[in-house]
Amino acid sequence: GNTYLAERAADVIDLKKRILSHLLGERRQSLGNLTTPVVVLANNLTPSETARLNKKYVLGFATETGGHTSHTAILAGALEIPAVVGVGAFLSDVSGGETVILDGNQGEVIIDPDESAHEKYLDSHARYLTVSQRLEGLRSLKAETKDGVRIQLMGNIEFPEEAQHCVERGADGVGLYRTEFLYLKNDREPTEQDHYEAYCRVIKAFPNKPVVIRTLDLGADKVPGSISDHFHSSNPVLGLRSIRLSLQNLPLFKTQLRAVLRAAVHGDVRMMFPLVASLLEFRQAKMVVGDVMEDLEAEGIPFRRDVPIGMMVEVPAAVMLAEDFAREADFFSIGTNDLIQYTLAVDRADPSVAALYRSGDPAILRLIHKVVDAGHKEQIPVTVCGQMSSSPIYVPLLIGMGLRQLSVTPHAIPELKEIIRQVTIPQAEQIAAHAQTLELARDVESYLQSELKKICPDSYL
């Protein structure tokens, strides 16, 4: 069937339920209005529903559909709410009130566990707390390899309040600020002032450290109600999203750009465009930035003129043109989540093909290598900011491929810092060289797992 129509059918069913509830005078409880601690079990949660979850009362959630790199899963990490996404059918076994264990490491939901399972998970949790306490001691130390090479370890954030999470874990700045969540958390379209205030909060948390603001990446699974009229695609993942949406809706784009340029006065701000696939798109986006600068100047509003402008490399076309882009962009950030999805033709939110979505696929390693080489050739910084860089097994590989900047989920920073501090550059280069000779993703992953155990035997895997 048509995925787009199936998604819209869910919207119609939801609308029908809300109309009936209203007509019957029933009070509808939002997940954002909970007053007692619960584990939420659902067929699916949209990114906007997830954004409204109250961490105080939602101890964790599990969904039948979705994928571990879907935006719902990413948001769960941002909110630091334990989540298991896309585990298949389980709601028929639940009536409400059961004891539930969410195993995020194995991606399992255990309903009414027996005593031995309960004990096993209590032991696992105790071990996790022990490792967490040890990692806490690394907070003020630099992310530096055993042989003294500095790695810039930055945080990915969705909300301004997450900047503090990054600071607390010793981040070297913000490598990816996903600004679209300003739209998803509110029922109205954010104003220029809303953007400006949100950016300033993040910038002030990181004096003299980089804050990379990505322009809005709406579309696909991130469609806010406030601007849903813009989205009518039979295949949202390949439709009007990200930079394409911004270039077709200039008032929307310019509102955000004005706020970024104004906020940049207060710190080390960089700007990047998502899902760029052609040189024309990149040049058009930069021209809009130039137009906005002229407007601000004419209005006498203070702004920063020399903001570095980079791009996400997350479409195979951008990888193939990496050398050309490197001559025009100030920096690259490799978005592995979409790069894997578009290269391997796997919908990252579809559980039926989830097993085909592999960060360690040899094709993905070659693409990353190509982008890193292009960046080095033109002497521009290259970062990896997808979920791959937050996964411990890939850190030695990425360093060995020549990356010196990683942007990761804030809660992963301490563990990744420990790994970085226990590996040498020659060791990492040897790991990367061997990994790139392997033919299958499972062999790459197995090899990286075994190498990580040698580097960091005490890590919590």
In tens, the pLDDT along 276-311 reads 999 999 999 999 999 999 999 999 999 999 999 999
Question: What is the C-alpha to C-alpha distance for residues 362 and 384, in angstroms, rounded to an integer?
Answer: 17
Give the CA diameter of the chain.
Answer: 70
Catalytic residues: 71, 385
Between 171 and 124, residue with greater pLDDT: 171
pLDDT of residue 7: 47
When mean pLDDT is compared across 55-64, 73-82, 136-145, 218-227, the lowest value belongs to 218-227
| Spatial CA neighbour of 176 closest among 78, 255, 252, 253 | 78
Looking at domain 140-455, what is its CATH homologous superfamily? Phosphoenolpyruvate-binding domains (3.20.20.60)
Q: What would the CATH number be for the domain defined by 34-132?
A: 3.50.30.10
The pTM is what? 0.84
CA 50 to chain centre: 14
- Beta-sheet pairing, 100-103 with 108-111: antiparallel
pLDDT of residue 3: 52
Residue 430's SS3 state is helix
- Beta-sheet pairing, 38-42 with 108-111: unpaired
pLDDT category of residue 28 using cuts at 50, 70 and 90: very low
Residue 435's SS3 state is helix
Angle between helices 192-205 and 250-263 (to 10 degrees): 30
Intervals of CATH 3.50.30.10 along the chain: 34-132
Question: What is the C-alpha to C-alpha distance for residues 333 and 212, in angstroms, rounded to an integer?
Answer: 10
Intervals of CATH 3.20.20.60 along the chain: 140-455
* pLDDT(228) > 90: no
Buried b / exposed e over 305-336, threshold 16 CB at 10 Å, is eebbbbbbbbbeebbebbeebbeebbbbbbbb
When mean pLDDT is compared across 21-35, 124-138, 142-156, 427-441, the lowest value belongs to 21-35
